[in-house]
A and B are shown apart, each in its own frame.
Chain A
């Protein structure tokens, strides 16, 4: 199992590192977010920002949220890449070897988490270039990185589980959007929850993206000590999504 997981994960990483488009996405997407969206609230008075966002600049509030969203979106690559492998027949090649189905799926999920994780330093670097000042808490930072990996695997598992038996290229994008849109807008990734109506606050309070974002803000925006509860929540989410996906994969993952 470990040997096969290693082999398939290595394949994911090598293919990703050799794709120019992947690099373009990793490098350019953060820049576009920051330039076009990050500046949308640039005119807010800083007293207002400090009161409701807890920090004087919207960019420094938003960057951890953006990191969370990116890690979630790259989860979609896991599901898309599995559909692609099925269409290309690669899944047949793998499933005709003694490789457990779980290894096929875990390699995809870890691959997607790796992609997502690579984007985070780029986001922070672009932010720094544009004048964002970080206040870092090292313990929180470590916990955040762990949380990004856990959440990356969890989101990838969620997307992949829902497209495990299809070879339709459209499925990953459609399913992805059904999950990403609600999660993104009900989380605190982009806006604080003070202005949310009560029902939205309730959703936000169970949304893994909220916890991931808050861990990031502890780590680099506010520089506050780590919040173990948030991390435990995320780890539980990740474990549950992965477990559910493993069951579905064992049952429904076929060569074509």
Chain B
């Protein structure tokens, strides 16, 4: 049985279509990533799957239960971790855990809570107000809170947003551990390619409310990824001659060639071009898959931003 099964999910907020027929499934025990730019529909999907909002149409099953008709059964079996850390700063770690446990009707909560605090290295801070914790500790507390009732599926909405590099690496280890040792299925959303590649067995790329592709990171790279050969040249080159190798373009003293297998064609490419000064190869990565599928470009956004700065700067003069 699939841990999560989503069929043709549509969500409209007035005129805005947040989800436009989303379908995917998550197998029990896997770490699954929902990857997409801001506003793609990741959070809306999570909100529907955790029973916080109803879909306009379509169907979603979590742990075999319908998220609309059997919301309470779903909520018993899931845990949820937000991007912003939501804990009560005035309360101690143990009190935060107690309240969460009681909300899930866990009776032997104290034993379970102490076990989790020990597991996540928070045991010496058990009776300290959470407000005094570091961000990394608060995140770990939140994860402990989500595991109190032994959920089958854990939803993590951009779980590492706002964490520093060290805390992010630590969190990845936590996700791997709980997946392995607690046997929990994880569905996480992220816009960090690296995170998806590190953690997820399979990834769905979502863009503008639609699933653009689903597969393992390797499958996606093979299918949608491209290698880029970058040549620095002495004089302008007729790029049409490079067409057999892949899509080619010239820009300020450089030639860029998008190709499937850079290593195999590299020698021929260099032979075909006169006056090559240097060669660089960018291998296919989830980054290039992401850019390919969503049309987003991190560089493009930066260019836009610099234009805005220029405009502001001119306006001030």
Using CB atoms and an 8 Å cutoff, list the residues of chain A in contact with chain B: 3-4, 6-8, 10-11, 14-15, 18-19, 88-90, 92-99, 254-255
Contacts and interface: CB of A to CB of B under 8 A. Distances in A.
A92 B50 CA distance: 10
Nearest to A88: B86
A93 B102 contact: no
A254 B86 contact: no
B91 A14 contact: yes
B170 interface: no
Interface string B86-111: 10101100010011101111000000
Contacts of B256: none
B31 to A, nearest CB: 20
B76 interface: yes
B40 to A, nearest CB: 18
Contacts of B82: 89, 92-93
Nearest to B79: A96
A67 B114 CA distance: 43
Interface of B: 47, 50-53, 72, 75-76, 78, 80, 82, 84, 86, 88, 90-91, 95, 98-100, 102-105, 129
B291 to A, nearest CB: 31
Contacts of B53: 254-255
Contacts of A94: 103
Nearest to B76: A98
B18 to A, nearest CB: 14
A254 B76 CA distance: 18
A8, A93, A255, most chain B CB atoms within 10 A: A93
The 7 closest A-B pairs by CB, nearest first: A7-B102, A97-B103, A96-B80, A255-B52, A98-B75, A89-B86, A96-B50
A11 B75 contact: no
Nearest to A89: B86
A99 B105 CA distance: 9
B102 A4 contact: yes
B90 A19 contact: yes
A222 to B, nearest CB: 42
Contact of A96 (B78, B99, B105): B78
B51 A96 contact: yes
Contacts of B50: 96
A96 B104 CA distance: 10
B130 to A, nearest CB: 12
A90 B85 CA distance: 10
A8 B101 CA distance: 11
Contact of B102 (A3, A15, A96, A254): A3
30 contacts: A3-B102, A3-B103, A3-B105, A4-B105, A6-B102, A7-B98, A7-B103, A8-B103, A14-B91, A15-B91, A18-B90, A18-B91, A18-B129, A89-B82, A89-B84, A89-B86, A90-B86, A92-B82, A93-B82, A93-B86, A94-B103, A95-B51, A95-B52, A97-B103, A97-B104, A98-B76, A98-B104, A99-B103, A254-B53, A255-B52
A15 B51 contact: no
Contacts of A255: 47, 52-53
B80 A93 contact: yes
Contact of B99 (A10, A18, A19): A10
Contacts of B91: 11, 14-15, 18
A98 B80 CA distance: 12
Nearest to A4: B103
